[in-house]
Chains A and B, each alone.
Chain A
Amino acid sequence: MSENAAAQPTKKSWPEIDFKTLGPAIALLILCIIGYSLNSAFLSEGNVTNLLTRSAFIGIIAIGATFVITAGGIDLSVGSMAAVIAGLMIIIMNNAVDTFGSGVATVLIGCGCSIILGIGAGWINGVLTTKGKIEAFIVTLGTMGIYRSLVTYFADGGTLSLDFAIRGTYRPVYYESFFGLPIPVWVFIAVSIVGWVLLNRTAFGRFCTAIGSSEAVAKYSAINVDRIKTYTYIIQGLCVALATIIYVPRLGSASGSTGVLWELEAIAAVIIGGTVLKGGYGRIGGTILGALILTTIGNILNFTDLISNYLNGTMQGLIIIIAVWLQRGSWGKNKKTKT
């Protein structure tokens, strides 16, 4: 009894939690059944691998977004940040070819710079939000515009392309498999595990949840709110950098249209997964499912010509709303009041 009471304030009641966990999983299962019934090739090894690899970009970014949103923030700049990091990585690697050759060293320099840039960009968002006392929505709306126009500027309005010699060295990072799974999927799995441990098994994770629930209470509980919030944006930046590192070898190019609307996809994945948009409750597992659901919708729409191409957005919108309704619907709450 006393244990139950202690769990109450942070996690509400158990039966509903179970249901929340199942909501996105049920949605994904239904989608897979629909996909398979439309075309059995949906569950072919090739398509499943494509799906997982594609989910990796949005998934990794969304794991970072889970921290930001759990702590009551929001980051709209991730899509543009990915584009500008991709652009700078390409410029840096192209310039490093002359001195370091087209081998692994150049690729490692590119990846290192990507991580530094990601952490730096996240830190800027964090400091402007906490020390600058500007709403996260406005800060990241601003940096979103800045990064987007910077990549257009670096590319001179066109497309930045990776040197062909480096492409050969770097290409396997996206296309090669390791124990049957493509490397981006392994990165996604690793980031997921680290993210889950960080959010659920460390003081940092509890601080994020506490700040998201009530910043004032967290402050009076001697939590360094500004520092923790800045860390969430830095984690977000790091996740964007990792996603970019596996994105660049795919097509070896970046332009003004790279990563457009990724921020909304990442936020949608987080919310579909059960994290609360206004903060205070976050779920890494749900976020992973959310990212898979979003990619699966696009995949299924490509597998059928039953639905007009012009209605793709409608289908995506409907499925996002239904997936969230599955876990928030009043039928879940009725159960709770009865028990």
Chain B
Amino acid sequence: MNLTKTMLSLAVGGAIALSSSAFADDKIKIGVSYPTPTHAWAAGMNWHAEQAEKRLEALYPDVDLILVNSPDPSAQASALEDLVSVSQIDALVVLPFESEPLTDPVLNVKKSGALITVVDRGLSQPGIEDIYVAGNNPELGRVSAQYMKGRLSDGDNIVILRGIPTTIDNERFDAFMAEIEGSGINVLDHKHANWNRDDGFEVMQDFLSRFPDIDAVWAQDDDIAIGVVAALEQAGRTGDGMFVVGGAGMKETIKSIADGNELQPVDVLYPPAMIATAMDVTVAAFKSNGPVAGRYILGATLITQENAMQFYFPDSPF
């Protein structure tokens, strides 16, 4: 108990690296909590978390990573309590299910003295986390729009298929629209396709019936893009330089970009592997001699045929 109290004062003081000496003969326990994978992106995250666990535990025998996934916010709150009381973790890496209901539970973990790393979805109170690792949603929209501007010219028409109505979707969409503004490219309409293949297919079918002239599609997400491509092929409108820009970095999409797909020539990265980055940084807080506390915003890299293979993980489910 004394050790964790020492840890608390040190962590709050920001001198986290120093605490590693206090744990030299004890195992460093790091809890990793995230939602149960129910869709492909989360399944990819689960896979990358497991890979990082194997890699880090092999590298540092005194580090013990405990992965826990939870099916809903209240289960995740309970899981966090267990990590503190049963496993007595020294650090927590958490991808919160929802910001509001998990802010207090994470705060309680912090009070136990653990180092807090928050991934992807921020908490609703600032200053709780020591380390923040996230993808960049506005950047995803901006990078997509920049690519569109590079390929299209004044008077060309595009349609947008959005995700599930959420903050993430709004951030991506608003940044895209801000970047495209003034370029002369017409956004004919935008509809929600819920990051879902079937919805992507149906919304795109309707766009194709409604608009005779579409030059490009921003599908925002690789799952939607699969539906969009199927609809384009059905309608026979894949020619004339038509292209689709997705996002996230699904392995099949990345593979086809590497193989030179012309219909979907690029993808914008929003990597599920960010959980591995967060675990690396958290372990570094105990192992590195450099300071690590801070905010890590990953780039929304444009994946093209040239760099595609470095983002390709054939064994990942996503």
Contact = CB atoms under 8 A, between A and B. Distances in A.
A255 B40 contact: yes
A46 interface: yes
A219 interface: no
A301 B199 CA distance: 13
A8 interface: no
Contacts, number: 82
Interface residues of A, number: 32
Chain B facing A: main interface SS: helix
B70 to A, nearest CB: 14
A255 B189 CA distance: 28
A309 interface: yes
A75 B6 CA distance: 58
B154 to A, nearest CB: 22
Contacts of A41: 209-210
A50 to B, nearest CB: 5
Contacts of B203: 302
B192 A312 contact: yes
Interface residues of B, number: 35
B43 A299 contact: no
A130 interface: no
Interface string A240-265: 00000000001101011110000000
B39 to A, nearest CB: 6
Interface stretch (A22-30, A61-69, A151-159, A266-274): A151-159
Contacts of B220: none
Interface string A297-320: 011011101000110100000000
A33 B67 CA distance: 56
B198 interface: yes
Contacts of B234: 175
Contact of A256 (B38, B207, B318): B38
A302 to B, nearest CB: 4
10 A-B pairs with the lowest CB-CB distances in the bound complex, closest first:
A157-B43, A158-B317, A157-B37, A302-B206, A47-B209, A158-B43, A158-B40, A156-B317, A50-B205, A256-B38
Given A41-B210, A50-B205, 8 more contacts: A157-B40, A159-B223, A175-B234, A250-B230, A251-B226, A255-B197, A257-B39, A257-B196
